[in-house]
Structure 1
Amino acid sequence: MTVDRAGENVGENAGDRVGEDAAKRAVVTGASSGIGRATVVLLRQHGWEVVAVARREDRLRALAEETGASVFVADLTRQDDVDALAAHLAVTGPLHTLVNNAGGAMGLDSVEKSSADDWAWMFEINVLAVKRVTSALLPLLRLGAKDAGGADILTVTSIAGHVAYEGGGGYNAAKFAAHAMMDVLRLELGGEPIRVIEVAPGMVHTEEFSLNRFGGDQARADAVYQGVENPLTAEDVAETIVQSLERPAHVDLDLVVVKPVAQSAPYKVARGPLVPRGGTGVS
C-alpha cells in the first residue's frame, strides 16, 4: 500500500505498479467517500491503475487496502497541495484520465439569507479546485495522450448546474460555473485527442452529501430521500463514469445527465411507489 501526502512520501513508490502492461492510469479526486470512492473501486475492478486523492488519510488507507489503488492526501483548495500532486504524478508514471469529483453543497437558504462564506466554500471546492487540478495535470494528460492515443478529463457536476431551484443559489451558481468551465475547456482543447466529459447526477443517496449540506443534521439529511423510490447510489454514478471513459476513443459523451426515475427535475421528486396511471388499455 502507498499513501502519499502533499509534500511528504510515506511508503513505497506509488509508480511501482504503473507501466507493467498497457493499463491506463486515472486520478480520482474526492475519493474518500461517495461517488469518488465507488469510482475508484470500479476502475480498479476494470483493471485501471488509480491514484485516489482526498483529504482524509485514514479513509484513503482503507481504500488502498481494499482496492490496491495508490492514494495521495491533498486539500485541493490549496495550490501547494495541487502542485505536490502534479509533481508526484510526474515521477510515478503516465496519466491518462482525470476524474474531477471533489465537490459539495452547503445550506439550502435563499439568496437573500444564505451565508456568503458558504458560497465562497462552494466556489472553492466545486469551481476553483477543479480549475487548479485541471490546469496542473493537463501537461501530464497530454503526455498520456501521446502514450495511449488519447486522454480524458471527466468532471462530475450536477443537474443543479443545469436547472435552478429555490434554495440552491450558491450550489446552482457553483455547478453552473463548473458546467461552463467544461464547455470552454472542450473548445480550448479542440484539435487535441483529449475528451472533456461532464457527468451531471441528480438525486444520489450517499452517506455524506446531504449530511454535510445540513451541517450534520441527520434527520434533515434523511428527509431529503424519505419516500423516494430508488434514488441513485454512488455505484450507479460510478458505473456511468466508467462506461463514459471506456467508450471507444473517438466517442465523446460531452454531457451525461443521470437521475433516478422518481426525479423529474431538481425541484420535482415523486415520493411513494411509482405506479402507472389509468387503465391498462386492454379491452
Structure 2
Amino acid sequence: MPTKTATPAKKATPAKPAALSLHIGLNAVSPTHYGGWSGDLAACEADADDMQAIAKSKGMKPTVLMTAQATRAAVLAALRKAAKTLKKGDFFFLTFSGHGGQVADVTGEEIDRKDETWCLWDSQLIDDELYLELSRFAAGVRILVLSDSCHSGTVTRDAVPTPTQPGGARSRMMPPAIALRTYRNHKAFYDGLQQDVAASAVKSGFIDPDAALAQVAVTSTRLTTVVNSFAPSVILISGCQDNQTAMDGDFNGAFTGRLLQVWNNGRFSGNYTQFRHLIAAGLPPTQSPNLFVLGSAASFLTQRPFTV
C-alpha cells in the first residue's frame, strides 16, 4: 500500500491591523462657557464628515462628534477607549476641525507662558492633556492627527481676519479677548487641569507634557530629547504654523479643502511628507501647514497616507 504523504501545515495568516478613527467638528461652541461667545463657523462639521468618509474608505471604524456632541467628556472617552483597544501595528486616525485657543501656562514650561488648546463645546482641551492621552496608546500603534484649527505660540499675532463677503472665509482662532475672558472666568478649572496632568505624568512615568509637546501643531526643538520615549508613533499635520491663522470656508476649511484636493479620492500615491508639501503648495503663505512626529515614526512617514 502506498504511504500517504503528510499535508504541510498552513502558515497562519497575520491578523489585519485594527483601525479606529475619531472625527471632531464644531461649527459653534457653548456661549455659557466661553463668556457669551459662540464662535460660529461654517465648514467644520463638513470637514469631520469628509474625514469620516476617508476613514470608512480605508476600512476604519469611525466615531464622529459634531458641535454640541463634542464635549470634553465625549472626546476624552473616545480617546481612552481607542487607547485601550488598539495594539502594536494598529492604526488610529484623529481629526479636529474648529477653533484653536490658549490658556495661561501655570506649570512653567511654555516659553511664551501659553498652552494651546482645541475649543470643544463645553471647555477647551489643553495640549498637555492631548499629549498625555496619546501617551497612553500602546507601543507600535500608528496615530495620524490632522488639526484644522489655529494654534498660536504667542498672544501677539495678526488681527482676526473678517469675511470679505457674506459667507466668506473667517478665522478659526478664538479672539484673544475671548480667550482671556474664558480663562479668567474658569481660571481654577484650567489651572487645575494642567496641574493634574503634570502630577499624572510624574506618577505614571511619562515625560512632562509641556516639555514634550509645547504646541500640538508645532515642531519644537525641545521634542528631540523625549521623542524616543514616546511609545506610539505619531504624525501630526496641522492647518497652519503657530503664528498663523487657519481659515474657515463655505464648504471646507482651507486646509481640509486643499487636503481633499491632494488626496483626490485616493488617487494620491506619495508618502506623508510629500502629502504635506503638496497641501502647503496650494495654500497662501499666510497659512503654511506644519508636520511633526513623536515616537519612532521614520517608517510611518514613508507610508501612503491613511494606510491601515
Normalised by the length of structure 2, the TM-score is 0.41
Q: Which of the pair has more CA radius of gyration?
A: 2
Q: 1 or 2 for the larger relative contact order (CA 8 Å, sep ≥6)?
A: 2
